[in-house]
Amino acid sequence: MFTLKHLIKPPLTKGFVQNVLTRCLFSQKGSGSKKYYDIIIAGGGMIGTTLACTLGKNTRLSGKRILLLESSKDSLYVLPEKYSNRVVSLNPGTKKSLTKIDAWKHINEARFATVKRLQIGCDGVNSQVRNAMGVHYLNWKYDNTGVVATLTFSEEFDNCIAWQRWLPTGPIALLPLNNSQSSLVWSTIPADAKKLLQLTNEQFVDAVNEAIWKVFKHNSYVDQVLKTFDGFLRVSNCSPGLNRRYPPKIVCVEEGSRNMFPLGFGHAASYVAKGVALVGDAAHRVHPLAGQGVNLGFGDITCLDNVLGEAAYSGSCLGNVNYLKVYETKRQRHNMSMMAGIEGLYRIYRSDLTPLVLLRSLGLQTIDVLNPVKKMVINHAST
Ligand SMILES: Cc1cc2nc3c(=O)[nH]c(=O)nc-3n(C[C@H](O)[C@H](O)[C@H](O)COP(=O)(O)OP(=O)(O)OC[C@H]3O[C@@H](n4cnc5c(N)ncnc54)[C@H](O)[C@@H]3O)c2cc1C
């Protein structure tokens, strides 16, 4: 079992972020209905709504008309008392983007025939904008389904560390919500996920506790090498601290919070074409094991905002593919390295081949004691 430092507390529910962003959007732009738009954004999820707010705040784009389209029913968002089962952990780069559009302060406080110059697809994994562009989309399904739920611990404690443990069937992770609750993301084989959803609340809690605490048979060869390596680190005075903490027992699952989501990988070969750009899950989809999916999308927003500002400043059309290509190149360079890293981790952790088990265990132990390398990994994940 190993710990991941939780980057920003508290984690945020998707509906809550969207509500804050929508309020920001309407406080910036009137809802007048002219027929002409410079930019049309398809998809008002977290990424589409943030993008609309960001572009609306860009002084170089002032005077441009932006339309945000969302297919789901318009309903007034009321912050529920209970946490939703879809929680995301946001990295410092994302916090910066949300601060820029005045959305972070709210989060912190609470917890017709149109002509367009640029259409932006923020319409998620099954993007119709991407389909219409006809770009090649490399994708596959994982033999993993994500089970989510809101869990309550047996006692209160300083719950500020996100936990992840790799089980033979996939990772189980706990993201802190408050001192007594965490959000569960348990990736497992689809048959097990279905069973987990059918269990009674008590049986489900037992299954989660077992998954967190069960001791699995260790590979004695790997254990021996790790012990020797640990001894070497201690002699070299660079042993990791022993202040690892374990989560307390789970006693309860929030009624109705259990749900499951299919998991997959996807990457569009092109993010742009003349007058069109893809942002967020419409362009890329990753396994949630590193909690990076939406953060990649927020990074896209910052980059596209800069590129469109440049285009407007130099008097170019917003749909000019030469500018859009700059966005594509920058973001693909960043996203593909992150996606390859996540995919590599997924494959290494799924394997029980002794050399791979040894490689990942030694790798983790080494990163843990080499502060510059640890900082480099965290920095890359935070941008
Ligand atoms: C189990 C699970 C756990 C996760 N945990 C994390 C985490 O901890 N950290 C993290 O960073 N990421 C996490 N992710 C990933 C994260 O949820 C996604 O990356 C993020 O929601 C993508 O946002 P989006 O706005 O691009 O797409 P979506 O959230 O899919 O939004 C797309 C929007 O477009 C709308 N739409 C669709 N089609 C159309 C259309 N034709 N016209 C108009 N509107 C349309 C939809 O109604 C929707 O509102 C997780 C994902 C899963 C499945």
Residues 6+ apart with CB under 8 A from 61: 38, 55, 308, 309, 312, 318
Higher pLDDT, 19 or 85: 85
pLDDT > 70: what percent of the chain? 76
Closest atom of ligand 1 relative to the 148 alpha carbon: 1
- Cβ distance 162 to 319 under 8 Å? no
pLDDT of residue 376 exceeding 90, the answer is no
Query: What are the CA-CA distances from residue 274 to residues 69, 119, 124, 262 (Å)?
Result: 20, 10, 20, 32
The CATH code of the domain at 11-139+264-346 is 3.50.50.60
Which pLDDT value is given to residue 2? 27
Residue nearest to ligand 1 atom 37, measured at CA:
123
Which pLDDT value is given to residue 80? 75
Q: How far is the CA of 292 from the centre of ligand 1 (A)?
A: 12
Which pLDDT value is given to residue 33? 52
Q: How far is the CA of 195 from the centre of ligand 1 (A)?
A: 25
- Cβ distance 354 to 348 under 8 Å? no
Sequence spans of domains, the chain: 11-139+264-346
Residue nearest to ligand 1 atom 1, measured at CA:
146
Q: How far is the CA of 380 from the centre of ligand 1 (A)?
A: 22
Structure tokens at 81: 């008392």
Closest atom of ligand 1 relative to the 263 alpha carbon: 53
Which pLDDT value is given to residue 31? 45
pLDDT of residue 4 exceeding 70, the answer is no
- Pocket probe for ligand 1: among 53, 71, 87, 186, the residue whose CB has the most ligand atoms within 8 Å is 71
Instruction: Please give the distance of CA 335 from its chain centroid, rounded to a whole number.
Output: 12
Instruction: Please list every protein residue whose CB sits less than 6 Å from any atom of ligand 1.
Output: 42-48, 69-72, 88-89, 122-124, 128, 146, 148, 185, 261, 280-281, 288, 291-295, 297
At 84, the pLDDT band (50, 70, 90 cuts) reads confident
The C-alpha atoms of residue 228 and residue 219 are separated, in whole angstroms, by: 14
Closest atom of ligand 1 relative to the 297 alpha carbon: 26
Which pLDDT value is given to residue 237? 61
Partners of residue 4 on adjacent β-strands: 162
The C-alpha atoms of residue 50 and residue 31 are separated, in whole angstroms, by: 17
Q: How far is the CA of 84 from the centre of ligand 1 (A)?
A: 14
Minimum mean pLDDT range among 18-22, 179-183, 211-215, 326-330: 18-22
Minimum mean pLDDT range among 46-50, 69-73, 312-316: 69-73
- Cβ distance 222 to 356 under 8 Å? no
- Pocket probe for ligand 1: among 50, 123, 301, 342, the residue whose CB has the most ligand atoms within 8 Å is 123
pLDDT of residue 6 exceeding 50, the answer is no
Structure tokens at 312: 């407007």
Mean pLDDT estimate for the chain: 82
Which pLDDT value is given to residue 106? 76
At 54, the pLDDT band (50, 70, 90 cuts) reads very high
> Span 209-234, mean pLDDT?
74
Q: How far is the CA of 122 from the centre of ligand 1 (A)?
A: 9
Which pLDDT value is given to residue 86? 73
Eight-class DSSP state of 63: T
pLDDT of residue 363 exceeding 50, the answer is yes
Higher pLDDT, 253 or 215: 253
Report the amino acid identity of residue 299: G
Looking at mean pLDDT, say which of 46-50, 70-74, 276-280 comes out highest.
Answer: 276-280
- Per 3-state DSSP, the chain is made up of helix, strand and coil in percentages (nearest 5) of 45, 20, 35
Looking at mean pLDDT, say which of 5-9, 96-100, 119-123, 288-292 comes out highest.
Answer: 119-123
> Span 12-30, mean pLDDT?
52
pLDDT of residue 81 exceeding 80, the answer is no
Give the gyration radius of the chain's Cα atoms: 22
CA dihedral 338, 344, 345, 349 (to 10 degrees): 170
> Span 178-184, mean pLDDT?
92
Q: How far is the CA of 293 from the centre of ligand 1 (A)?
A: 9
pLDDT of residue 34 exceeding 60, the answer is no
- Encode pLDDT of 223-281 as tens digits: 776 667 666 666 666 655 544 466 789 999 999 999 999 999 999 999 999 999 999 99
- Ranges of beta strands (E only) in the chain are 2-5, 12-13, 39-42, 66-69, 87-88, 118-121, 137-153, 161-167, 170-176, 181-188, 250-253, 259-268, 272-273, 276-278, 284-285
Instruction: Please give the distance of CA 296 from its chain centroid, rounded to a whole number.
Output: 7
pLDDT of residue 27 exceeding 50, the answer is no
Which pLDDT value is given to residue 5? 29
Higher pLDDT, 345 or 11: 345
Minimum mean pLDDT range among 50-54, 162-166, 280-284: 162-166
- Length of the chain (residues): 383
Q: How far is the CA of 124 from the centre of ligand 1 (A)?
A: 5
Q: How far is the CA of 288 from the centre of ligand 1 (A)?
A: 12
- Pocket probe for ligand 1: among 21, 47, 294, the residue whose CB has the most ligand atoms within 8 Å is 294
Higher pLDDT, 79 or 65: 65
Residue nearest to ligand 1 atom 17, measured at CA:
294
- Pocket probe for ligand 1: among 5, 50, 88, the residue whose CB has the most ligand atoms within 8 Å is 88
Q: How far is the CA of 357 from the centre of ligand 1 (A)?
A: 33
Eight-class DSSP state of 318: T
Which pLDDT value is given to residue 370? 65
